[in-house]
């Protein structure tokens, strides 16, 4: 009997998973292949890739196969990730065990069946009570403590790991990140002598910008050791160590308020729905009356409801352990119930799509260096994650929003009568950088 060809078996498994033919070319370890004109190629390097799918049907099995290198994509990564949208109905990637039983003999002949392979070492295993201080530190370390050299390659010189703000579609990533940092400072109304708390401060780019351009003093808190170390070095090199204090500290441990302004950029996604009221209350308590909070967070679509993290999803296992996305309405409601007045909301969804594509380009252009500075699996995680994120923002499945809120209680109304032009081109409205800031 002629042994089965692996590419044919991949097609059979795809029909079981998707309910339709796979709209991609396939090339397998035994030399067999199928061709779909104009489509990217799915490269199955080892029978272990299919074994991972048999034991973990769906997203987790596919993720493990890709991260381990057992499965690869040649061609346009965006086209490859778009294939579910070309199917009659968006699949849930579930394997019919009865139908799978009919493939037992060819699976055996090709060496696919066997014990489950060990997950790639890049898979997260956090322990303890969800969103406790200890577990949050483990989750943050998994994502951010993978090497500052890796992030320099990925993010570029700005070292800003949040949505940029593009003055126009042709702006460079560095120009767009500079514009975003200034946008945040303008919305917060920063003036010389003010005290800013930057929650989830990353590698310190916003703190540096606010201190050097707006003459404020900054307390920057992060629970990533790698981020804190590099942020302190950057402060010293810029001569700003006296204006910027970088702390390896959870926001829940900050007790030396009040602050004139608080920024939280891309941090609320790590908080979790159950902890959002306590998060908002803590920031409210740390802010002086009349002070401004800028909360920027990725959001699920308006009809999605609150996020319930899937422990078998790619994002949970490889990217953001314990991360949760909430709709914009949830963030606004929690802030208002805490006592904030929400004054302005701006969506940056299209900007984040451009940002993610720029990060993917950086990664692909510096692929060999990125692999050397982290691991092949880690580089593959970030390529898959950022390319999929770009598509999610472009197709309205995910958004990102800046919410500006004020703590009432000041004698004077802290906001101007008219909404200022906070865009990068603004020259007359809204707060201006300090002329003598250094």
Q: What is the average per-residue pLDDT within 256-277?
A: 94
Least confident of 58-67, 343-352, 358-367: 58-67
Q: What are the respective helix, strand and coil percentages of the chain, to the nearest 5?
A: 45, 15, 40
- Between CA 183 and CA 295 the distance in angstroms is 13
Q: Tokens 């500052």: give the residue.
A: 148
Angle between helices 376-394 and 148-155 (to 10 degrees): 40
Tokens of 111: 């060496």
Comma-separated ranges of CATH 3.40.50.150 domains in the chain: 133-406
Q: pLDDT tens, 184-217?
A: 999 999 999 999 999 999 999 999 999 999 999 9
Whether the per-residue pLDDT at 114 is higher than 80: the answer is yes
Q: Which among 139, 143, 112, 3 is positioned nearest to 50, based on CA atoms?
A: 112
Q: What angle do CA 193, 427, 176 make, to 5 degrees?
A: 85
Distance separating the N- and C-terminal Cα atoms of the chain: 79
SS3 42: strand
Whether the per-residue pLDDT at 434 is higher than 50: the answer is no
Helix (H) or strand (E) run with residue 287 in it = strand 287-300
Q: Which among 272, 287, 301 is positioned nearest to 401, based on CA atoms?
A: 301
Q: How would CATH label the architecture of 133-406?
A: 3-Layer(aba) Sandwich (3.40)
- Between CA 351 and CA 134 the distance in angstroms is 33
Q: CA dist 221 to 68, 162, 218, 238, 427, Å?
A: 34, 16, 10, 19, 31
pLDDT attached to residue 428: 35
Q: What angle do CA 348, 349, 354 make, to 5 degrees?
A: 95
Buried b (16+ CB within 10 A) or exposed e, 339-366: ebebebeeebbebbbbbbbbbbebbeeb
Residue 30 neighbours by CB distance under 10 Å:
16
Q: pLDDT tens, 6-44?
A: 998 888 888 777 777 888 999 999 999 999 998 999 999
Segments in 91-172 forming alpha helices (H): 97-101, 104-109, 133-144, 148-155
Q: Which among 407, 200, 395, 408 is positioned nearest to 296, based on CA atoms?
A: 200
Counted residue by residue, the chain has a size of 438
Whether the per-residue pLDDT at 427 is higher than 50: the answer is no
Residue 438's pLDDT band, with cuts at 50, 70 and 90, is very low
pTM, full prediction: 0.89
Residue 326 neighbours by CB distance under 10 Å:
23
- Between CA 123 and CA 63 the distance in angstroms is 10
Give the single-character DSSP code of 260. Answer: E
Q: pLDDT tens, 43-94?
A: 999 999 999 988 887 788 999 999 999 999 999 999 999 877 766 555 555 5
Kindly tell me the sign of the dihedral angle through the C-alpha atoms of 296, 380, 17, 51: negative
Whether the per-residue pLDDT at 287 is higher than 50: the answer is yes
Tokens of 50: 């299919």
Q: Are strands 25-28 and 41-44 parallel, antiparallel or unpaired?
A: parallel
Average pLDDT for the chain: 88
Contacts of 272 (CB under 8 A, 6+ apart): 130, 131, 322, 324
- Between CA 387 and CA 189 the distance in angstroms is 34
Q: What angle do CA 182, 370, 208 make, to 5 degrees?
A: 20
């Amino acid at each position: 009997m002629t042994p089965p060809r692996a590419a044919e078996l991949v097609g059979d498994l795809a029909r079981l998973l998707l309910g339709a033919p796979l709209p991609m070319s396939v090339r397998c370890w035994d030399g067999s292949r199928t061709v779909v004109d104009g489509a990217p190629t799915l490269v199955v390097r080892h029978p272990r890739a299919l074994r991972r799918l048999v034991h973990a049907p769906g997203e987790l099995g596919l993720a493990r196969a890709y991260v381990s290198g057992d499965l690869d994509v040649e061609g346009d990564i965006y086209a490859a990730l778009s294939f579910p949208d070309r199917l009659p109905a968006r699949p849930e990637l579930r394997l019919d065990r009865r139908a799978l039983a009919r493939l037992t003999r060819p699976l055996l002949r090709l060496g696919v069946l066997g014990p489950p392979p060990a997950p790639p070492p890049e898979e997260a295993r956090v322990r303890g009570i969800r969103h406790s201080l200890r577990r949050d530190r483990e989750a943050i370390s998994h994502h951010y403590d993978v090497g500052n050299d890796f992030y320099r390659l990925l993010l570029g010189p700005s070292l800003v790991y949040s949505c940029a703000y593009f003055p126009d579609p042709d702006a460079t990533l560095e120009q767009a990140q500079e514009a975003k940092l200034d946008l945040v400072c303008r919305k917060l109304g920063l003036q010389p002598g003010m005290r800013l708390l930057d929650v989830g401060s990353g590698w310190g780019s916003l703190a540096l910008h606010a201190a050097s351009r707006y003459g404020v003093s900054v307390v920057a808190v992060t629970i990533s050791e790698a981020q804190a170390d590099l942020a302190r070095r950057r402060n010293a090199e810029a001569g700003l160590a006296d204006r910027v204090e970088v702390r390896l500290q959870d926001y829940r441990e900050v007790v030396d308020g009040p602050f004139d302004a608080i920024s939280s950029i891309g941090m609320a996604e790590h908080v979790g729905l159950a902890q959002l009221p306590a998060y908002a209350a803590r920031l409210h308590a740390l802010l002086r009356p009349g002070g401004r909070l800028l909360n920027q967070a990725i959001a699920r679509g308006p009809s999605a409801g609150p996020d319930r993290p899937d422990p078998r999803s790619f994002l949970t296992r490889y990217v953001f352990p314990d991360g949760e996305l909430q709709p914009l309405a949830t963030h606004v409601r929690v802030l208002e119930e805490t006592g904030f007045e929400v004054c302005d909301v701006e969506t940056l969804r299209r900007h984040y799509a451009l940002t993610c594509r720029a990060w993917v380009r950086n990664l692909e252009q510096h692929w060999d260096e990125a692999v050397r500075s982290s691991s092949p699996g880690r580089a593959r995680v970030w390529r898959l994650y950022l390319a999929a994120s770009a598509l999610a923002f472009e197709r309205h499945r995910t958004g990102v929003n800046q919410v500006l809120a004020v703590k009432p209680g000041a004698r004077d109304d802290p906001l101007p009568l008219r909404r200022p032009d906070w865009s990068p081109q603004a020259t007359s409205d809204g707060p201006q950088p300090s002329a003598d800031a250094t």
